[in-house]
């Protein structure tokens, strides 16, 4: 990708549409696009979906693929949500409000990051079905307050990020981009308290008991994000989780963590249908979504594609990206003879 352009990644666009974003700061782009360590996992995520091959059916009479799905009580046009990512305000003046509006317009879910550029309440007002992502801050009371506020504002679920006991340093330098400082400033403004950087940094002592605590405060289902192991999935469910999100934080935390497409089947087997299993990391096309669903995911989340679409086209860009993803998924389903996302179809993958 050239230094100042974003493109929608779609199969349908022929050729793929490229939108130049002349005003985008290279440091912001590197902050959003980069990963930790040697960016091994960042690259591996995308590749792991692409190596899978389909064994499509012929002459099935599937006229229209049903992509609609119910997820934790919400009806979605497709099993796709916008993943929680920090500071949408860096790429668009309306920040998360625009992203949430785009997701709602496309009938997809939206997960708001704790590190939002915009107050929770403002986003909630613009959103369709949305969830709130949280991590354990050292100031536990503040953590719980935020979750309670999200619940009050209408969040339908809480997503607890489990893979970030500390924030891993990133590979690429991003001069002038300081998400921790922006986060701290936002929380000071929100609370009127003289919070310190330590108060709001990740609390590595957090364990699975936090799952039930969050659920109690919010009165909402809690999903754990960052699960890459079968035993951890079981631990989280045992501790009260309503679902798990297979994720390696988009290659931004432990570099060389297994690609999510490779971790997914083990987690699906461990959960055994007892709760929703979602997945993110490197999903860029409808074919990627179809692979994820075939491997047993109930839904997927897309992070960087949403940021790119937001940067390129605001709320409309986000909606368009998500609709394209849904159309690509529907097309791939029809071509593969898969009638609906609501029933398992593991055999659509070759071998």
Catalytic site positions: 249
Pick 227 or 319: Cβ nearer a second copy: 227
Among 128, 129, 162, 251, binds a second copy (CB under 8 A): 162
Q: Does 216 bind a second copy (CB under 8 A)?
A: no
Joined tokens for residue 117: 């550029």
Q: What is the CA radius of gyration of the chain?
A: 19
228 lies in the site for a second copy, by CB under 8 A? yes
Question: What's the closest the beta carbon of residue 313 comes to a second copy, in angstroms?
Answer: 21
- 11 touches a second copy (CB under 8 A): yes
Q: Which helix (H) or strand (E) holds 301?
A: strand 299-302
Nearer to a second copy, 220 or 264 (CB): 264
Contact call for residues 242 and 72 (beta carbons, < 8 A): yes
# residues contacting a second copy (CB under 8 A): 69
CB of 36 to a second copy, least distance (A): 7
CA dist 341 and 294 (Å) reads 9
The piece of 31-39, 75-83, 114-122, 214-222 that touches a second copy (CB under 8 A) is 31-39
The answer to whether residues 120 and 132 touch, using CB atoms and an 8 Å cutoff, is yes
The minimum distance between CB 239 and a second copy, in angstroms, equals 8
Distance in angstroms (rounded) separating the CA atoms of residues 294 and 298: 9
What's the closest the beta carbon of residue 288 comes to a second copy, in angstroms? 9
Residue with smaller CB distance to a second copy, 97 or 206: 206
Closest to a second copy by CB, 82 or 259: 259
Classified as helix, coil or strand, 227 is: strand
Q: Is 183 annotated as a binding residue?
A: no
Q: Is 92 known as a binding-site position?
A: no
- Smallest CA-to-CA distance from 127 within 89, 161, 95 is with 95
Give buried/exposed letters for 201-236 (b at 16+ CB in 10 A, else e): bbbeebebebbebbbebbebbbbbbbbbebebbbbb
Rounded distance between C-alpha atoms, residue 154 and residue 313, angstroms: 26
Cα angle value 154/155/160 (rounded, 5°): 155
The DSSP call for residue 131 is E
Contact, 226 vs 208, CB < 8 A?
Answer: no
Cβ 129 to a second copy shortest distance, Å: 25
CA distance 267 to 277: 8
Of the pair 140, 171, the CB lying nearest a second copy is at 171
> Is 153 within any annotated ligand binding site?
no
Interface with a second copy (CB under 8 A): 11-12, 14-15, 36-38, 40, 44, 50, 52-64, 160, 162-163, 165-166, 168-173, 204-208, 210-211, 224, 226-229, 232, 235-236, 248, 253-259, 262-263, 285, 287, 291, 331-332, 334-337, 350
Q: Summarize the annotated binding site as residue ranges.
A: 31, 84-86, 113, 133, 135, 161, 225, 247, 249, 252, 280-284, 303-304
């Amino acid at each position: 990708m050239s230094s100042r352009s974003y493109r929608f990644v779609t199969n349908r666009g022929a050729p793929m549409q490229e939108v130049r974003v002349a005003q985008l700061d290279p440091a912001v782009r590197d902050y959003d696009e980069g990963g930790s360590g040697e960016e091994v996992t960042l690259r591996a995520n995308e590749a792991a979906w692409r190596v899978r091959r389909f064994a499509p059916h012929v002459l099935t009479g599937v006229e229209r693929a049903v992509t609609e799905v119910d997820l934790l009580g919400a009806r979605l046009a497709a099993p796709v949500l916008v993943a929680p990512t920090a500071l949408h305000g860096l790429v668009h003046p309306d920040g998360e409000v625009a992203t949430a509006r785009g997701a709602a317009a496309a009938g997809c879910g939206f997960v708001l990051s704790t590190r939002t550029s915009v107050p929770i309440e403002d986003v909630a007002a613009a959103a369709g079905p949305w969830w709130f992502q949280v991590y354990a801050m050292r100031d536990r009371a503040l953590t719980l307050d935020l979750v309670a506020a999200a619940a009050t504002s209408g969040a339908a679920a809480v997503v607890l990020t489990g893979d970030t006991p500390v924030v891993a340093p990133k590979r690429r330098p991003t001069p002038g981009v300081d998400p921790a400082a922006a986060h701290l400033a936002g929380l000071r403004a929100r609370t009127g308290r003289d919070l310190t950087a330590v108060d709001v940094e990740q609390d590595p002592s957090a364990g699975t008991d936090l799952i039930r605590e969050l659920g109690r405060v919010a009165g909402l289902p809690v999903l754990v994000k960052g699960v890459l192991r079968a035993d951890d999935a079981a631990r989280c469910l045992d501790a009260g989780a309503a679902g798990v999100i297979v994720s390696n934080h988009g290659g931004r935390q432990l570099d060389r963590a297994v690609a999510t497409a490779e971790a997914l089947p083990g987690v699906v087997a461990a959960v055994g249908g007892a709760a929703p299993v979602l997945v993110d990391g490197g999903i860029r096309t409808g074919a990627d979504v179809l692979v994820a669903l075939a491997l047993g995911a109930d839904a997927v989340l897309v992070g960087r594609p949403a940021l790119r679409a937001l940067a390129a086209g605001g709320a409309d860009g986000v909606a368009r990206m998500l609709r394209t993803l849904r159309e690509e998924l529907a097309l791939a389903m029809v071509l593969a003879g898969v009638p609906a996302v609501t029933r398992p179809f593991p055999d659509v993958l070759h071998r």
